[in-house]
Amino acid sequence: MYLIYIYIYMYVLIHVSKYMKNCGCPQLLSIFYKENGGFNFENLKRNEILIEKGAKLPTFRKTGTTICGLVCQDAVILGADTRETEGPIVANKNCCKIHYISKNIYCSGAGVSGDLEHTKIWLQHNVELHRLNTNSEPRVAMCVSRLTQELFRYQGYKECAIILGGVDVNGPQLYSIHPHGSSSLLPFSAMGSGSLNAMAVLEAKYRDSMTIEEGKELVAEAISAGIFNDLGSGGNVDICVVTRDGSQMIRPYKEPNVRLFHLPQPTVFPRGTTPYLCEKVENLKKLITIEDA
């Protein structure tokens, strides 16, 4: 019976489409061919038209970043630097790159700061709605699934490289999520422009069943390696420890580049400090001549 209905629907749709094409009604025909998702290029076309008319579009802000994370005993530890760059300019020296998702799930991000901020808020709302609908605490795998599906829709045009970690009924878990939507479950991971330096430290010193204190020191050392060896990374070291019961945000955990020399404050002398011998007041208005242009 259902096959008959489908056949009738397709038959009517094909003949109505042919009739509308012959009658020149593309606006009515578009009703039957609605988009079902994917990337929308309307703004891209709009931007091209604006550029042709001489408009100067604002540049995006991109975090040349070092982020990393690792799994230790009953916890996940995330770390990040605090430098936000806009091309060769340091736009923000104390940017927070570790984001709250839920009570037991956090993420750190690298990429375009606008995309990261929007994606973080979108994921927070979806996870909270899922918690209210199911009346249960969200799981890390659910967050990763929703995030990878969203990023895959945009085929990498959302420049969000994310390390997501948390602790649920399945224990501590850490995922590395790339902008095009792929994900990997790993014991430790590093992303961003300084990831090679951080990964060198993690691969050399990571071991299973590390304590939380050992994990914090290793994450701080990995982020510091990115800060000192990558021009896009800098500032302080932020760390977040996520356990089953909650989280502990330590900001800053370490300040490797403390400013030693500060600009001197100007010396303000009180009025009358300098003595003077005489005073002469002269009216100069009579010497000023105003002429028409």
How far apart, in Å, do the first and last CA atoms of the chain sit? Answer: 93
Q: Quickly count: other Cβ atoms within 10 Å of residue 90's Cβ.
A: 16
DSSP conformation class of 280: -
DSSP conformation class of 5: H
CA gap 235, 114 in Å, rounded: 20
Q: In the chain, how many H helices and how many E strands?
A: 7, 13
Q: Could you give the residue numbers annotated as active site? A: 65
Phi/psi of residue 129, each to 5°? -65, -40
Tokens of 163: 């390390």
Q: Which residue has the tokens 């010193």?
A: 205
Cβ-contact 251, 211 below 8 angstroms: no
Tokens of 157: 């045009």
CA dihedral 245, 250, 251, 254 (to 10 degrees): -160
- Sign of the CA dihedral with 172 first, then 149, 87, and 97 last: negative
